[in-house]
Amino acid sequence: MNIILSQQTRDIVKSTAPVLAEHGTTITTVFYRNLFEAHPELLNVFNHANQAQGRQQAALANAVYAAAVHIDNLENILPAVVQIAHKHVSLGIKPEHYPIVGEFLLKAIKEVLGDAATGEILTAWEEAYGVIADAFIGVEDSMYKEAREQENGWNFFKPFTVARKVQESGNITSFYLKPADGSNVPDYKPGQYISVRVLIPGEKYTMIRQYSLSQAPKPDEFRISVKREEANDPNGVVSVYLHNQVNEGDTLEVSAPAGEFLLDATKTTPVAFISGGVGITPMISMFETVANVTPDRPTVFLHSARNEALAAFTQDVEKHAAAMSNVKTKFFFSGGPDGVITGETLKNYVDITGDAYVCGPVPFMEAMIRELHALGMKEEQIHYEFFGPALQLDNH
């Protein structure tokens, strides 16, 4: 990220970091409220559930604070930019959205900080926001280009037909999706996700949710596996609609695969997949890929579910494991005698010279990553992603 900012601008922005740490969530809450009042059409893009739970506000506050702290060396936040840019491309964020966001972010800073937000501070932030926005637009432009130019690729949303709908467990159902125009799908990397956009009857705005692709790449279809959330949970609106209303033969709008929680399928060194709940979905894609591509790779698959009725893909795991020569698999049920995956479990199963992939609810991931570090695994050996806004993991 080659960013030219005057020293004065950098100093001013850095000096506001403590204020952002204190008032960040208030600023971003005001920002979203005013933004959606003025531009309700953006509710077609933003996740209403994350708004309702305050997660989006917190994630944005973290991002703005990180930019202030690292303003002298924005390369430090490039990994976060890339991760967020994948989400933006999957949602269909466009360059023209950035000036609108910038305008309302500055207004929110002024509204919350009052006289403390001097003209000098606002000018510095306007300049800083401009260069950061340009960095995002540049990264996203190259991602859009790559998605568009790959074989069978496209940008934004494209209609797919639900070819099959299969119940996997008490609360997870798989949807097999094929392009409605009869074309094939682009290749993707195990661990990536797609966005699904729906207009639910009775709702004013479209809703978009991201779902991991839950099988190894196939030429003609995607598979997503959706956990049914409670209907009264703001997260549940789309999942309940998919489970109850969307049937075989129906059409869903889908974006091209995105994300950088990826299996390196070329490696033959030991690998462990550790998941909890619906975090199993990207792991199945990775595990099946190992079975197909490097069946002799030393592999461990550990999964934690509440009980047997809620454990999805037990047969898939058995089937893929049967094709592998060096594999250990185990399902844990937190309500049963085996209980949860502990540090002792990881010590017995995981080869700490290899790689570990972790996915599941945030407390589960924090515990697993902490235990893997305690066993001696380094940061670069542990790969993880959680669903929802890019919150900070507290694993140290």
Tell me how far apart the alpha carbons of residues 120 and 239 are, in angstroms, rounded to a whole number.
47
- The response to whether 386 counts as a known ligand-binding position is yes
Cβ 235 vs Cβ 199: under 8 Å = no
Active site residue 98: yes
Q: Which of 65, 129, 140, 221 is catalytic?
A: 140
For 24, the 3-state DSSP assignment is: helix
Q: Phi and psi (nearest 5°) for 217?
A: -55, 135
To the question of whether residue 315 is assigned a binding role by annotation, the answer is no
Is 210 annotated to bind ligand?
yes
> Given CA atoms 224, 230, 235, 236 in this order, what sign does their dihedral have?
positive
What residue spans of the chain are helical by DSSP H? Answer: 7-15, 17-38, 48-52, 55-69, 78-91, 97-113, 119-149, 236-245, 280-293, 314-322, 343-349, 362-374
- 262 class by beta-carbon count within 10 Å (0-12 exposed, 13-18 middle, 19+ buried): middle
Please report, as a single letter, which amino acid is at residue 336.
Answer: G
SS (H, E, C) 36-88: HHHCHHHHHCCCHHHHHCCHHHHHHHHHHHHHHHCCCCHHHHHHHHHHHHHHH
Query: Is 366 among the catalytic positions?
Result: no
Q: Annotated binding residue at 350?
A: no
133: CB partners within 8 A, 6+ apart: 98, 99, 101, 102
Q: Does 336 count as an annotated binding residue?
A: no
131 in helix, strand or coil? helix
3 state SS of 290? helix
Residue 282 marked as a ligand binder: yes
188 annotated among ligand-binding-site residues: no
* Cα–Cα distance measured from residue 263 to residue 282, given in angstroms and rounded to the nearest whole number: 10
Q: Is 280 annotated as a binding residue?
A: yes
Closest CA to 253 of 68, 32, 92: 92
**Residue 388, marked binder:** yes
Pinpoint the alpha helices (H) of 150-259.
Answer: 236-245
Was 175 annotated as part of a binding site?
A: no
User: Which one of the listed residues 65, 98, 144, 188 is annotated catalytic?
Assistant: 98
By three-state DSSP, how is residue 358 classified?
strand
- Does 3 count as an annotated binding residue? no
Closest by CA to 185, choosing from 214, 152, 225, 149, is: 152
Is 314 annotated to bind a ligand? Reply is no
Binding residues for FAD: 193, 209-212, 386-389
Known catalytic residues? 98, 140
Binding residues: 88, 193, 209-212, 277-282, 386-389
Binding residues for NADP(+): 277-282
Binding residues for heme b: 88
